[in-house]
Chain A
């Protein structure tokens, strides 16, 4: 059973870079899935941030693309997020998750990590 766990600082200063790591257990990030970051903004809904697949190919939400880097480390079975120039608007619960998609149009996100709250504040 695949499990994901986020780790990283819970507090980031404005204008700094938010860095999170997702450790995957019970499965390999080299498998045919898309390893994804999603956040839940306070009082708002879920926002897809981006994903990495085949260990190197990435896709990003256009609204975050200029500030976001997602990468994978197959040796550690981890993937990571770096979001630069953060502001209070980036305060959110950040989730890592596994995304599946096939040519029939079936696509789903499962499992999710438990989520980690990151607060941007001085």
Chain B
């Protein structure tokens, strides 16, 4: 299987830069996508592919991949960025989808 591992929690001072990482063997074959989930809301796609943002996603969000690790970077974190962030990709041996366990981001 292609499990994805994320740190459970990360914190950042308001206006500073923070990275959330996602590690898994499958990321050598498939790109990670990143989702932001706030309480009571559906997850929102914020990064996909090499470093693509859907329309309406602020450019302070960016993504990158190196080897088996994908990173989501928030440059100049805002209070409204406090949320859970999930990475997602695809199993390398099957057609199954996989999610990371999620990272709770706190903006101080």
Contacts and interface: CB of A to CB of B under 8 A. Distances in A.
A110 B54 contact: yes
Interface string A29-73: 000000010001000011110010000000101100000000000
A26 interface: no
B43 A107 contact: no
A46 B99 contact: yes
A113 B43 CA distance: 9
Contact of A99 (B30, B49, B97): B97
Q: Is the interface of A mostly helix, strand, loop or mixed?
A: strand
B48 A112 contact: no
B33 A112 contact: no
Nearest to B35: A109
Interface residues on A, range: 20 to 34
Contacts of B88: 46, 107-109
B86 A48 contact: no
A95 B99 CA distance: 14
Given A48-B96, A106-B48, A107-B30, 9 more contacts: A36-B97, A45-B100, A51-B97, A95-B43, A106-B31, A106-B49, A107-B88, A107-B97, A111-B45
